[in-house]
Amino acid sequence: MGDPQLAISNEFMDALARLPKSQRKKVQEFAKKFRADPKSSAINYEKIHNMDDDRVRTVRIDQKYRAVVLHPDKGNTYVLVWVDNHDEAMDWARNRTFEVHPETQSLQILNVEQVQKSLTEAGARESGSEKLIPHDDEMLLSFGVPPVLLPAVRHLESKEQLSQLQTVLPEESYESLVWLAEGESVEEGRQAVGIPTVPRDATPMGANQEILSSEDQAISNRQSGRRFLRVSSDDELDRVLAAPLERWRVFLHPHQRQLTERFFAGPALVLGGAGTGKTIVAMHRARQLALKLSNNQKVLFTTFTKNLAENVESILKSLCGEEFHQIDVQHVHDHAMSWLKPSGHLSVGSDDDLALAWDQVAVDNPTKFETDVLREEWFYSHAIKGVTSREAYLQLSRIGRTPLLSRRDRAAIWKAFELFEESLRLAGKCHWIGVVSKAAEHASNVASPIYRHVIVDEGQDFTASDWRFIRSLVRTGQDDVFIVADPRQRIYHEPTLLSDGGIEIEDRIHRLQINYRTTEQIRNWATDRSGGCDTDDLCDSSWSEIATHSLFSGPDPELIESEDLESESVAIAKLINSLKADFPLEEIVVVVRANWLMKKIKTVLKRHSIEHAALGQNISDAQGVRLATMHRVKGLEFRCVIVAGLAENVFPTKYRGRQDDERAKRQHVIAEKNLLYVASSRARDRLFVSTVGGFAKSGFLKTAST
């Protein structure tokens, strides 16, 4: 049978988070002793009066608190399912059932009172109305609906009624019903939830029940992994119980867990909208890969933004044990710079430095084109397409770009590129494209690569030159490069194909479809106004056609209209004062397009005595509402988001490129709309959108279908 094992439920984590910190420490100490030997005579098991399920016991933590344990009749897995005061723990257990689902074989915990209430409400509905989910019992059971709740599901008539069952149904069955209610097919629903199709000739219910009802079997089930974790060491137990509110560190959706653990024959890409858990998957995968490495191998986790890299490093430290020492976390440009530091000091030019270098090109311009054309052509060829030589540029496809260029034009333009590079060099400066290109050369010449695996977050923001650098860091092979991305959050440049950077994805494309951050109302609002919804990005994948749903419901986003920016700032101050009864100020963020507008809002908040802090360095202990630009808020989340300053000539920002370049104009609009998507999708519970001077009627706030 093997040694006894300990598992922890998500409900136990919820209960632990409610306890005083001093009591949590006692629970951790008890859990270690319990894991060491749950059969010890020192463990004081107590049966629960008036409870038929003899597997459910309580165990003493101290004179006041007790834990509820699922004590197996057979098998060797003991499950901690709740912790509370003595009487409350008893009452909680009496109001629960613990059953292995007959079809999915997952272990499910149901609240008896909630089940009875749902059945009563379903019975009170008039028969004959059109049903929301018109499937028979056999089909509903295959989606994990508990047999006792079949009548409640059969009588559903609206999505609102379904949302009321969210706290009653197990996650997999509620999630399945959401997909079916949205009109997705049964097979699409199974695929999204990660429930395999049950063969018609499968073992009938009741057969082999002794094996199937074992907690050992049930907790190993993929769906059970959403709410149960088998703990394998004291170190893991400490990490899990140290942050009980951060359930994402422990309990993963079956698709998420599959992506963290599976083998890929080469580079793999995971696409998903905001809030679908891309970074969570990337971090868990980094850990899983690190656990399998030998001492002289490493994993690189890299991102496009320094803020995210710092956040990921901090989280990985708490998520990992000793394997953290085999994971390097670094912003891609910082990592590229580390390859070149032995060659001497490098000074990366600012935007002004680069502009001055192009001004120098204009003095002896070898072409018939203005420097604006040359600058855009240089960025497109070098960054977006990853060109590194004159020959490659002469053969580069420019379909859809203006102006049209002959071979002679291109030859002259390449000379202009060389003048630009020389001007920067004489000024003692370089540019980031050059940094990553040179770093790629150095990495390619290393006999034994430092990294066995590279994990890339925010992949939509990488250029082809960045991808060439990534490709150079790790040898081609199994699990070499793993990328997560959301093309709707691409806000820095036009689309880049991975293949232009030497990353060949082939058919290794996967999608995350469940939004865990925002309500369905906020998700819909943000997605409908995204600029990139029709863009094939990264690998010409039709990612925009893949459905995404949120499992949460809430109020619709609210539109606030003001006559001018001053009155808008006052309205926002009043709104914050009304919100602080429901939200801690630190969970409210005001997001703007430009820093000058943030300063204006700061002045008004100060006048209204509202504490505030701009997102940036060293504000973790600061009190008050957070303020951020649309770029700075990327990668974060807040319970309440106020997107402010949507006004003519403020958002979108003025297009400063060539007026005859329709493609560039279109890309500018897409990037600005994607910024609105990024800002609004940071919201978990509430979203407010503040407009000025009639901007509410702007095309930027219309849905994609209007």
Per-residue pLDDT tens for 605-630?
999 999 999 987 656 667 899 999 99
Cα 111 to chain center, whole Å? Answer: 30
Is 34 strand, coil or helix?
helix
Is 419 strand, coil or helix?
helix
Upstream peptide bond of 403 is cis (omega within 30 degrees of 0): yes
Q: Which residues contact 19 (CB under 8 A, 6 or more apart)?
A: 27, 65, 83
**Nearest in space to 551 (alpha carbons), one of 278, 142, 277:** 277
Cα 641 to chain center, whole Å? Answer: 17
Q: What is the DSSP letter of 447?
A: S
Report how far apart, in Å, the C-alpha atoms of 471 and of each of 428, 441, 465 are: 28, 11, 10
The C-alpha atoms of residue 587 and residue 598 are separated, in whole angstroms, by 18
What per-residue confidence (pLDDT) applies to 212?
36
The C-alpha atoms of residue 485 and residue 462 are separated, in whole angstroms, by 10
What per-residue confidence (pLDDT) applies to 131?
84
Strands (E), 342-470: 451-456
* CA atoms 434, 439, 441, 444: torsion sign: negative
Q: Which helix (H) or strand (E) holds 550?
A: strand 549-552
The C-alpha atoms of residue 259 and residue 268 are separated, in whole angstroms, by 10
Strand partners, 355: none
For 47-50, which contacts have Cβ atoms below 8 Å and span 24 or more sequence positions?
48/90, 48/93, 48/94, 49/90, 50/94
Q: Which residues contact 159 (CB under 8 A, 6 or more apart)?
A: 132, 181, 553
What per-residue confidence (pLDDT) applies to 206?
39
- State the helix-helix crossing angle for 306-319 and 234-242, rounded to 10 degrees: 130
The C-alpha atoms of residue 149 and residue 129 are separated, in whole angstroms, by 19
AA identity, residue 680 = S
- Give counts: helices (H), strands (E), the chain: 26, 22
**Nearest in space to 312 (alpha carbons), one of 456, 113, 433:** 456
Strands 65-70 and 56-60: antiparallel
The C-alpha atoms of residue 254 and residue 192 are separated, in whole angstroms, by 10
The C-alpha atoms of residue 583 and residue 685 are separated, in whole angstroms, by 10
Q: Which helix (H) or strand (E) holds 426?
A: helix 407-426
- pTM: predicted TM-score of the whole model, two decimal places: 0.88
Residues 431 and 348 sit within 8 Å (Cβ to Cβ): yes
**Nearest in space to 667 (alpha carbons), one of 333, 414, 376:** 376
**Paired tokens of 111:** 């609240």
The C-alpha atoms of residue 665 and residue 290 are separated, in whole angstroms, by 44
For 372, half-sphere exposure in the C-beta direction (CA atoms, 13 angstrom radius) is 9
Strand partners, 268: 482
What per-residue confidence (pLDDT) applies to 223?
86
Name the one residue in this structure whose structure tokens are 């770093």. Answer: 439
Sort 443 into a burial class: Cβ within 10 Å, 0-12 / 13-18 / 19+.
Answer: buried
Dihedral, CA of residue 504, residue 505, residue 506 and residue 511, to nearest 10: -170
Below-70 pLDDT ranges, the chain? 1-2, 126-129, 197-215, 245, 531-537, 540-547, 617-621, 703-706
What is the helix, strand, coil percentage profile of the chain, to 5?
45, 20, 35
Q: Which helix (H) or strand (E) holds 98?
A: strand 96-100
Report how far apart, in Å, the C-alpha atoms of 384 and of each of 16, 398, 497, 666 are: 49, 12, 8, 16
What per-residue confidence (pLDDT) applies to 386?
92
